[in-house]
Amino acid sequence: MALDPMTHERELETIDFNINIGPQHPATHGVFRMVLVVDGEEVVDLVPHIGYMHRGAEKLSEFMDYRQAIGYQDRTEYLAQFNAEMTYVQAVEKLAGIEPPERSQYIRIILAELNRISSHFMFLGAFGVDLGIIGTSFMYAFREREHILDLFEEITGDRLMYAYFRPGGVAWDVPRNFKERVRWVCEQALIGADDLDKLLTDNEIFIARTLGIGRLSIEDAINYGATGPVLRASGLKFDLRRDEPYSIYDRFDFEIPVGKNGDSYDRYLVRLAEIHQSVRIVLQALDQLPEGPILPERLPRLLRPAPGEIYMRCENPRGEYGIYLVSRGTTQPYRLRIRSSCFANLSALKHMTIGHYVADAVTILGSIDIVLCEVDR
Q: Per-residue x/- marks for another protein, 53-72, CB under 8 A?
A: -----------x--xxxxx-
Name the residue type at position 72.
Answer: Y
Indicate the residue among 276 and 351 with the shorter CB distance to another protein. Answer: 351
Q: From the list 51, 55, 56, 139, which residue makes contact with another protein (rule: CB under 8 A)?
A: 139
Q: Does the protein bind another protein through residue 224 (CB under 8 A)?
A: no
Strand segments (E) across the chain: 17-21, 33-39, 42-49, 165-166, 169-170, 308-316, 319-327, 335-339
For every residue of 64-94, DSSP letters joined together read S-TTTTHHHHHHHSSSSHHHHHHHHHHHHHH
Q: Closest separation between CB of residue 241 and another protein, Å?
A: 28
Sign of CA dihedral 47, 48, 49, 51: negative
Q: Closest separation between CB of residue 32 and another protein, Å?
A: 14
Q: Does the protein bind another protein through residue 184 (CB under 8 A)?
A: no
Q: From the list 49, 59, 99, 135, which residue makes contact with another protein (rule: CB under 8 A)?
A: 135
Indicate the residue among 247 and 331 with the shorter CB distance to another protein. Answer: 331
Do 343 and 106 form a contact (C-beta atoms < 8 A)? no
* From 103-111, 116-124, 146-154, 319-327, span contacting another protein (CB under 8 A): 146-154
Indicate the residue among 194 and 244 with the shorter CB distance to another protein. Answer: 194
Distance of alpha carbon 154 from alpha carbon 36, whole angstroms = 45
Q: What are phi and psi for residue 322, nearest 5 degrees? A: -120, 145
Residues of this chain, 11-40, that bind another protein according to CB under 8 A: 17-19, 21, 25-27, 37
Q: Per-residue x/- marks for another protein, 248-287, CB under 8 A?
A: ----------------------------------------
Indicate the residue among 181 and 280 with the shorter CB distance to another protein. Answer: 181
CA distances to 4, 47, 130 from 38, in Å: 20, 12, 20
Q: Does the protein bind another protein through residue 172 (CB under 8 A)?
A: yes
Indicate the residue among 89 and 281 with the shorter CB distance to another protein. Answer: 89
Residues of this chain, 281-320, that bind another protein according to CB under 8 A: none
For every residue of 107-147, DSSP letters joined together read HHHHHHHHHHHHHHHHHHHHHHHHHT--SHHHHHHHHHHHH
Q: From the list 44, 190, 256, 310, which residue makes contact with another protein (rule: CB under 8 A)?
A: 44
CA distances to 107, 108, 271, 362 from 246, in Å: 14, 12, 21, 35
CB atoms within 10 A of CB 177: 10
Q: Does the protein bind another protein through residue 149 (CB under 8 A)?
A: no
